Amino acid sequence: MPTLMDTYIENREMVHPNHANNLETTHGGTVLKWMDEVGAMSAMRFAGSDCVTARMDQVNFRRPIPVGDNALLKSYVYETGETSVSVRVRAFRENPHTADAELTTDSHLVFVAIDDDNEPTAVPELVVDSERGRELRETALDSSDRDR
């Protein structure tokens, strides 16, 4: 069975002018797209099948990501249902020269695993077998409760 840490993914996007708005910061919709993609990667790694986005909970845009920085995206599965997979996703602005990072955006997404006929399919039980995994899961559950 997949563990929480098996689903932990970090991805980076270089922020170019074509990602930016008139303030020379990343469009919010672009950040959401990147968050959805990395969240889907975690969900599919967990489910072992394709997954589709069912819900994106409250999205908190805390600060912008300027052109020239990297967008650092972190995601992991923290809870499951019969066919659903809950994923915590956070975006950070990262200085490409120093790797200093600052949280910019966070949300919780729910994906549904689908079979070859695009019908919902069962997902395995989530295993949390490390201290780091327990910390991540607890943090995700706590932040999810606060956002509701």
4: CB partners within 8 A, 6+ apart: 76, 77, 78, 126, 127, 128, 130, 133, 136, 137
How far is Cα 137 from Cα 87, in angstroms, rounded to an integer? 10
- Residue 20 near residue 27, CB atoms below 8 Å: yes
Which class is 4-147 in CATH? Answer: alpha beta
Domain ranges of the chain: 4-147
> What pLDDT is recorded for position 1?
84
Specify the pLDDT at position 3: 95
The DSSP symbol for 15 reads -
Q: What percent of the chain has pLDDT over 70?
A: 98
pLDDT tens profile 3-41: 999 999 999 999 999 999 999 999 999 999 999 999 999
Contact 3, 127 (CB under 8 A): yes
pTM for the full predicted model: 0.94
